[in-house]
């Protein structure tokens, strides 16, 4: 339980996403914008979706346009 809480805090502070395909960093907002434009306003935030493997919502990289479930990408904090 404590591990999940720490992971949740880490993900909520994340500002960028590292794509597993092209290894490019993009902002969380770029990933979320693509999801909202494609699937509508009810699309989950990638930071929230990354916490639960049951959420298989497809998020798309803004650089290479490959699609991934949120738990497959790496969330990082860049200042």
> What torsion do the CA atoms of 14, 74, 61, 79 make, to the nearest 10 degrees?
30
Average pLDDT over residues 4-25: 84
35 phi and psi angles, rounded to 5 deg? -65, -40
Which domain, by its residues, includes 64? 2-76
At residue 17, the pLDDT reads: 96
Overall number of domains in the chain: 1
For every residue of 55-75, DSSP letters joined together read ---EEE-TTT--EEEGGGSEE
pLDDT digits over 20-70, tens only?
Answer: 999 999 999 999 999 999 999 999 999 999 988 888 899 999 999 999 999
Handedness of CA 21, 24, 28, 34 (dihedral sign): negative
């Amino acid at each position: 339980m404590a591990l999940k809480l720490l992971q949740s805090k880490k993900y909520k502070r994340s500002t960028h996403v590292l794509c597993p395909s092209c290894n490019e960093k993009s902002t969380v907002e770029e990933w979320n914008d693509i999801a909202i434009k494609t699937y509508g306003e009810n699309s989950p935030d990638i930071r929230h979706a990354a916490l639960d493997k049951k959420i298989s919502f497809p998020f798309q990289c803004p650089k290479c346009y490959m699609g991934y479930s949120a738990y497959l990408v790496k969330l990082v904090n860049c200042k």
